[in-house]
Amino acid sequence: MKKLALLILLVATPAFAHAKLTGSDPAADAKVKTPKMIRLTFSEKLEPAFSGASLIDAAGKTVPLASSVAGTGITLLPLALKPGRYKVDWHSVGQDTHRMKGSFSFEVIP
Partner 1 sequence: MLALARGLYFAASMLLFGLCAFGWLLRARLPMILPLRDQPLRWILLLLALVTGCAWLGLAAAAMADAMDRHVVAAAAADTVFGQFFLVRMAALAGLGLLMAIRRGRAAMVVLSALALVLPAATSHAAAASPAGFAAIGAMTDGTHLLTGGFWIGGLAALLLLWRRQEPNMLLALSLFSDWAMVAVLLLLMTGLINAASILLGQKGTASLLYLSVLGAKLALVAGMLGLALVNRFRLMPRGREVLIARHAAIELGLGLGAVLLAGLLGQLQPVL
Is beta strand 21-25 parallel, antiparallel or unpaired with respect to 38-42? antiparallel
Q: Which is nearer to partner 1, 12 or 80 (CB)?
A: 12
Give the H or E element holding residue 10. Answer: helix 2-11
Residues making contact with partner 1 (CB under 8 A)? 8-9, 12-18, 44, 47-50, 91, 93-99
* Minimum distance from residue 44 beta carbon to partner 1 (Å): 6
Q: Which is nearer to partner 1, 47 or 57 (CB)?
A: 47
CA angle 41/51/76 to nearest 5° reads 55
Q: Which is nearer to partner 1, 24 or 51 (CB)?
A: 51
